[in-house]
Amino acid sequence: MGAMIVLGTLTLPGSERCVAYARRFVRDLVGEGHPAVDDAELCAGELVTNAVVHTRSGEGGHVTIVVARDGDVLEIRVADDGASGDLPHMRDEAFAENGRGIVIVAALAADWGVEAERHGTTTWFRLHG
């Protein structure tokens, strides 16, 4: 894999409304012709929802989405304002009504991860076209 080229970056207020904006932003940048556009939109929406619901981003903070591409490989990063040391993780509760966002990302993405930073957390995933 070569160097990722950033297609765009968007910072939004951490509210539930920002999820729809984030999904549209990702879809527009990736483009309808990319074979992974639906998965990119879905996974980005899940990570932004997690940021708003589970971190300080949803308490008046912000969420930043970065979309990058190297050929048919997409990398999408979602940075939030952190959650008191808690990191995104998969739950083992198969029939829970919530908590499936990371499970969805892990199932669809070729790779994903979490980077804890001083003032927040970045969760990222990669999709192959």
* pLDDT tens column, 16-68: 999 999 999 999 999 999 999 999 999 999 999 999 999 999 999 999 999 99
* Domain residue limits, the chain: 7-128
pLDDT at 98 over 60: no
- Please answer whether residues 18 and 52 qualify as being in contact, where contact means their C-beta atoms are separated by less than 8 angstroms: yes
Backbone angles phi, psi at 99, to 5 degrees: 85, 20
Query: Does domain 7-128 bear CATH number 3.30.565.10?
Result: yes
Backbone angles phi, psi at 65, to 5 degrees: -115, 130
Report the candidate in 116, 1, 21, 3 with the shortest Cα–Cα distance to residue 65.
21
Identify the three-state secondary structure at position 100: coil
Per the confidence metrics, is the pTM higher than 0.85? yes
